[in-house]
Amino acid sequence: ETGVTQTPRHLVMGMTNKKSLKCEQHLGHNAMYWYKQSAKKPLELMFVYNFKEQTENNSVPSRFSPECPNSSHLFLHLHTLQPEDSALYLCASSLGAGLAGVGETQYFGPGTRLLVL
Amino acid sequence: EDQVTQSPEALRLQEGESSSLNCSYTVSGLRGLFWYRQDPGKGPEFLFTLYSAGEEKEKERLKATLTKKESFLHITAPKPEDSATYLCAVQASYNQGGKLIFGQGTELSVKP
């Protein structure tokens, strides 16, 4: 495997279900990100992890719960979601998050297409 | 407020018809401006990073340029396989968390 991988690629869940999205990066990076992409809207940052520590939560509802056990893996635990949470969820990684004076390129995975019924 | 605006929202070209996509930004100090390509149902694919005004980068039929207020993605003699949505994003110098602010994208369609 190379780059950033995400599983599952597609997920359909009911509002009472609990599911998890998985992301793995094979780039030796130290920062990982979750983004949400809704139709006709810009990518929206959800969470940032730098060296396994959460450094940003962009006012995300508590029904989304991230977990970063190490610098290579990132999870997004989902529970009691709403239909408006249906979107493409993208994971990304970069060398670091916040290296002084450097604009850090983020590399994205293929995404998980989530449908909440 | 930091903001990124891309224009046009959609662009239809004939194969071989060169054009440019625009990305205007307002940010309190720029650490980097990024261009991505996104195909339907897939994640964004990295194209270029630009750091300072006057910088230019090229890759095949694509050339990205940067000024203090905007960036252009020039497409020379495009082919149908260049059809995709092109995303622009900026990272602000005050932000130490790696946050990218994205525009809404330009959907490019190249007809044979």
Give me the pLDDT at residue A1, please: 60
Give me the pLDDT at residue A33, please: 95
Q: What is the mean pLDDT of residues B92-108?
A: 85
Give me the pLDDT at residue A40, please: 81
Q: Does B4 touch chain A (CB under 8 A)?
A: yes
Give me the pLDDT at residue B31, please: 87
Q: How far apart are the CA of A98 and the nearest CA of chain B, in angstroms?
A: 4
Q: Which of A40, A90, A103 sits opposite B32 (nearest CB)?
A: A103
CB contact under 8 Å between B41 and A43, yes or no, is no
CB contact under 8 Å between A43 and B95, yes or no, is no
Q: B11 and B105 in contact (C-beta within 8 Å)?
A: no
Q: What is the mean pLDDT of residues B50-77?
A: 96
Give me the pLDDT at residue A6, please: 98
The larger pLDDT score, comparing residue B1 to residue A30, is at A30
Give me the pLDDT at residue A104, please: 82
Q: Which residues does chain A have with pLDDT short of 70?
A: 1, 98-103
Give me the pLDDT at residue A12, please: 95
Q: What is the mean pLDDT of residues B23-29?
A: 92
Q: What is the mean pLDDT of residues B54-67?
A: 97
Give me the pLDDT at residue A103, please: 67
